[in-house]
A and B are shown apart, each in its own frame.
Chain A
Amino acid sequence: MKTVPPATAPPPSRHRPLWRRANIPAGAGAALWLAIVLIPLYILVSATLRTREDYLERGALALPTAPSVESYRRVLAGDFLTYLFNTVVVTAACAALVVVLAVTVAYSVVRTRNAASRRVFQLFLLGLAIPSQAVIIPVYLIITELNFYDTLAAVILPTAAFALPVGVLILVGTMRDIDEETYESMALDGAGPLRTLLNLTVPMSRAGIATVGVFSALQAWNGFLFPFLLTQSRDTRVLTLGLYDYVGEFRVDVPALLAAVVLSVVPIFAAYLLARRQLVNGLMGVGGR
Chain B
Amino acid sequence: MSAPPPIPASARRAESPHPSSPAPVAGRRRARDTGRPGVLWAVPGLLFFGLFAAAPMVLVAWLSFTSWDGLSAPAWSGTENWSRLWSDPAMHRALRLSLLLTLLSWAFQTPVALLLGVWSAGHQRSRAVLSAVFFLPLLASSVALALVWRSILDPNFGLAADVARWLELGDANVLGSQRGALLAVAFVAAWQFIPFHALLYQGGARQIPRSLYDAASIDGAGTVRQFFAVTLPQLRNTAVTSSVLMVVGSLTYFETVLILTGGGPGSATTIVPYLMYETGFRAFDLGYASAVATSLVVVATGVSLLMVRLTGFGRMRSTREGM
Question: How many A-B contacts at CB < 8 Å in the complex?
Answer: 347
Q: How large is the interface on B (under 10, 10 to 19, 20 to 34, 35 or more residues)?
A: 35 or more
Asked if A19 and B143 sit within 8 Å, CB to CB, the answer is: no
Given A135-B57, A247-B259, A283-B199, A197–B37 Cβ distance below 8 Å?
A: yes
Given A121-B10, A240-B144, A173–B139 Cβ distance below 8 Å?
A: no
* Chain A 223-264 interface residues, beta-carbon cutoff 8 Å to B: 223-225, 229, 240, 243-244, 246-247, 252, 254, 257-258, 261, 264
Asked if B280 and A187 sit within 8 Å, CB to CB, the answer is: no
A136 to B278, CA, bound (A): 13
User: Chain B residue with minimal CB distance to A276?
Assistant: B132
User: Which residues of chain B are within 8 angstroms of A6 by Cβ–Cβ distance?
Assistant: none
Asked if A59 and B162 sit within 8 Å, CB to CB, the answer is: yes
Asked if A186 and B134 sit within 8 Å, CB to CB, the answer is: no
User: Chain A residue with minimal CB distance to B279?
Assistant: A137
A170 to B121, CA, bound (A): 23
User: Which residues of chain B are within 8 angstroms of A152 by Cβ–Cβ distance?
Assistant: none
Most buried by B among A34, A55, A136, A208: A136
The residue that A289 contacts in the complex, of B132, B249, B297, with Cβ under 8 A, is B249
* Chain B 41-63 interface residues, beta-carbon cutoff 8 Å to A: 41-42, 44-46, 48-49, 51-57, 59-60, 63
A170 to B199, CA, bound (A): 17
Asked if A60 and B39 sit within 8 Å, CB to CB, the answer is: no
A269 to B227, CA, bound (A): 34
The segment from A9-17, A63-71, A72-80 that touches chain B is A9-17
Nearest-CB distance from A54 to chain B (Å)? Answer: 11
| Interface status of B5 (Cβ within 8 A of chain A) | yes
A142 to B51, CA, bound (A): 8
A interface residues, tally (CB under 8 Å): 130
Asked if B56 and A240 sit within 8 Å, CB to CB, the answer is: no
A111 to B34, CA, bound (A): 11
* Chain B 278-310 interface residues, beta-carbon cutoff 8 Å to A: 280-281, 286, 289-290, 293-294, 296-297, 300-301, 304
User: Which residues of chain B are within 8 angstroms of A288 by Cβ–Cβ distance?
Assistant: 193, 196-197, 245-246, 249
Given A161-B49, A224-B142, A169–B196 Cβ distance below 8 Å?
A: no
Given A108-B40, A133-B276, A208-B2, A142–B293 Cβ distance below 8 Å?
A: no
User: Which residues of chain A are within 8 angstroms of B133 by Cβ–Cβ distance?
Assistant: 34, 37-38
Given A43-B151, A121-B10, A160-B48, A112–B136 Cβ distance below 8 Å?
A: no
The residue that B213 contacts in the complex, of A17, A123, A186, A208, with Cβ under 8 A, is A17
The segment from B80-88, B89-97, B112-120, B314-322 that touches chain A is B112-120
| Interface status of B100 (Cβ within 8 A of chain A) | no
Nearest-CB distance from A2 to chain B (Å)? Answer: 9
* Chain A 100-145 interface residues, beta-carbon cutoff 8 Å to B: 101-102, 104-105, 107-109, 111-118, 120-125, 127, 129-142
The residue that B297 contacts in the complex, of A8, A104, A131, A276, with Cβ under 8 A, is A131
Type the 1/0 row for B229-245, where 1 means its CB is closer than 8 Å to any CB of A: 00100000000000001
Nearest-CB distance from A147 to chain B (Å)? Answer: 15
| Interface status of B173 (Cβ within 8 A of chain A) | no
Given A127-B53, A193-B41, A222–B218 Cβ distance below 8 Å?
A: no
The residue that B35 contacts in the complex, of A165, A192, A252, A272, with Cβ under 8 A, is A192
Asked if A127 and B9 sit within 8 Å, CB to CB, the answer is: no
- Other than A137-B280, A141-B74, give 17 A-B pairs with Cβ distance below 8 A: A15-B221, A19-B122, A23-B223, A33-B134, A59-B157, A60-B157, A60-B161, A111-B36, A112-B41, A113-B13, A133-B296, A135-B53, A174-B2, A244-B143, A247-B147, A268-B139, A284-B1
A to B CB contacts below 8 Å, 15 in the list: A18-B122, A26-B115, A59-B159, A108-B40, A122-B10, A134-B294, A137-B60, A142-B55, A161-B51, A169-B4, A173-B5, A243-B147, A286-B4, A288-B196, A288-B246
- Residues of B at the A interface (CB closer than 8 Å) are 1-5, 7, 9-10, 13-14, 17-18, 28, 30-42, 44-46, 48-49, 51-57, 59-60, 63, 70, 74, 112, 115-116, 119, 121-124, 127, 130, 132-144, 147-152, 154, 157-159, 161-162, 191, 193, 196-197, 199-200, 203, 210, 213-214, 217-218, 220-223, 226-227, 231, 245-246, 248-249, 251-252, 254-255, 258-259, 273, 276-277, 280-281, 286, 289-290, 293-294, 296-297, 300-301, 304
Give the top 4 A-B pairs by smallest Cβ distance, nearest first. Answer: A161-B52, A19-B122, A222-B141, A138-B59
